[in-house]
Amino acid sequence: MLRVEKIQKVFNNKSFSTEVLNDISLSISKGCWLSIVGPSGSGKSTLLNITSGLLKPDSGKVFFNDRNVYELNDQERSNLRRKHIGFVFQDFKLLPYYSVLDNVILPLYYDEEKNKLYERAKELLQVVGIRESLFFRLPEGLSGGEKQRVAIARALIANPEVLICDEPTGNLDWENRNQIIKLFSSLKEQGKTIVLVTHDTNMADCGDEVYQLLNGKIALIEAAV
């Protein structure tokens, strides 16, 4: 489903260059949960951004269902992300002046009839554990765990094949973190492909494969038997 081949990425500033990714190759099959661990600054988020079509590598290729992502034009890549990839971030990225429901429908706001989108959003919010009394609340009135559940519902609104997750439990307490882990495990059982970076080794170990990114190189450290 997802394949990256010989990815290189260097960041330059006025005084020096930093090679973040060096000859990175990965193959991620449909329905797989792939976890990536590594120290802060090791390039985990950069690799996610490249894999999802947000950041062009200096060299190398990214394939999504055998389509070369960086041979697509900007609009085609945007459509691919919006319709086929769901994003979950550590800081939730909810719009502060939009209700819970409106945040969930945002990825498809201009694509589909609003009443149908709202109905789908309500169903997804119930699936992720958000009670109906919160549907019209603004994000500031939610707990951290509730915000992340809303963000996951938003990521699922287009029924994407792939979820790209950047430290999805990084801002959560222990109880909420465990609930989010259970939710991701359920999504995997439903056939979602999950690519996730995390400092949380317990969450990483829930994956089918665990890779470590260090000094620009990636290595498999654990695979499901």
- What are the tens digits of pLDDT across the range 3-53? 999 999 999 887 788 899 999 999 999 999 999 999 988 999 999 999 999
Give the pLDDT score at 33.
96
pLDDT digits (tens, 9 = 90+) for 40-90: 889 999 999 999 999 999 999 999 999 999 999 999 999 999 899 999 998
Average pLDDT of the segment spanning 174-202 = 92
Q: Is residue 128 part of a domain?
A: yes
CATH code where residue 150 lies: 3.40.50.300
The residue written with tokens 């706001």 in the block is: 109
Cβ-based neighbours of 28, under 8 Å, separated by 6 or more: 1, 2, 3, 34, 193, 195
Which of 82, 93, 218 has the alpha carbon at shortest distance from 148?
93
pLDDT digits (tens, 9 = 90+) for 106-149: 999 877 788 999 999 999 999 999 999 999 999 999 999 999 99
Give the pLDDT score at 195.
97
pTM score over 0.85? yes
Which residue range forms the structural domain that includes residue 37? 30-46+73-205+216-223
Q: Is the dihedral of CA 4, 188, 131, 169 positive or negative?
A: negative
Q: Is residue 13 part of a domain?
A: no
Q: Is the pLDDT of residue 182 over 50?
A: yes
Q: Is residue 9 part of a domain?
A: no
Please give the C-alpha separations between residue 177 and each of 127, 140, 184, in angstroms, as whole numbers.
17, 19, 11
Q: Is residue 60 part of a domain?
A: no
Q: Is residue 54 part of a domain?
A: no
State residue 188 phi and psi, 5-degree precision: -65, -40
Q: Is the pLDDT of residue 222 over 80?
A: no
Give the pLDDT score at 95.
96
Give the pLDDT score at 225.
47
User: What is the helix (H) or strand (E) element at residue 45, kind and residue range?
Assistant: helix 44-51
Q: Is residue 7 part of a domain?
A: no
3-state SS class at 201: helix
Per the structure, the count of domains in the chain is 1
- Measure the CA–CA gap between 217 and 23, rounded to whole angstroms: 7
Average pLDDT of the segment spanning 90-96 = 93
Confidence tier at 171 by pLDDT (50, 70, 90)? confident
Give the pLDDT score at 15.
78
Give the pLDDT score at 224.
61
- Contact criterion met (CB below 8 Å) for 81 and 54: yes
- Measure the CA–CA gap between 195 and 117, rounded to whole angstroms: 26
- Contact criterion met (CB below 8 Å) for 38 and 203: no
Confidence tier at 170 by pLDDT (50, 70, 90)? confident
- Contact criterion met (CB below 8 Å) for 105 and 156: no
